[in-house]
Amino acid sequence: MKKLTLIALTSLLAACTQSGITTTIAENTPEPVATETTKTVKKAEKETLSTKNFIGDWTCSMDGDKVASKNQVKLSEGGKATYQGKIALPAGNHTFHYALQRVGTWAYKNDVLAYHFTQSNVTRAHSSKTEQAMKSSKSLRATEKNYFDTINKELAKRQDIDLKVSKFSGKSFVMQQRLAKSNRSGSCVKSS
C-alpha cells in the first residue's frame, strides 16, 4: 500500500511540475545551498576576459604555414612581452631548427592578444645529424640558407602579431593567427 501511495504522489508531483503548478511540501524546506563548484561556474560566467588574465609565463605551440614553433612566453603586468622559442622547418619534415628570441609589448582586447616586437633575434639550432648532412650537400645548405634568410626578413616585417584567442580556461587557451594566404593555430598552457 505504501508503494502505491508513493507512486501516486510521485506522479502527481511530476504532473504539477510539468504544468507549471508549484507545490510546497513543507513550509520550512530550506533553500538549496550553493556549492563551491556552482559558485565558481557562476563567477566565471559573469567575469569578462581582460589583460590581467594573461599575465604570467606560458608555454605555447603553433603550427601552420609550413612552420611549427614551440615558445616560452612571459607576459608582464606592465605590458612587456618576452618570447623565446624554437622554429622547425619544413612542415612535416622539421629538418631545420632555429632558436628565436623576441622582446616587445603586448595587450589584450576584444578576444585578440596583440604583440608589438621591438627586438628579434634568430640563430641556427640544428641537430648534429642535420649539420653533418649539410656539410656533404650543397643543395641542403642552399635550402637552409634560404630558410634562415626568409625567417630574418619575416621577423623584420612582422613586428606586430595579432592572435585571436578562444577557449580561455585560466590555465590554457587556443589561438589563431591569420596570415595573407593561410592560418596558423595553436595553444598556450600556463606554466606553474
Q: Give residue 67's pLDDT.
A: 84
CA distance 37 to 91: 42
Single-letter residue type at 61: S
Give CA 115 to chain center in angstroms: 15
Task: Supply the Cα-derived Rg of the chain in whole angstroms.
Answer: 28
- pTM beyond cutoff 0.75: no
Cell 612581452, located at residue: 81
Tens-place pLDDT, residues 153-189: 988 888 899 999 999 999 999 999 998 888 899 999 9
- Cβ-contact 185, 163 below 8 angstroms: no
Helix (H) or strand (E) holding 38: helix 36-46
Tens-place pLDDT, residues 41-88: 434 433 589 999 999 999 999 988 788 899 999 999 999 999 999 999
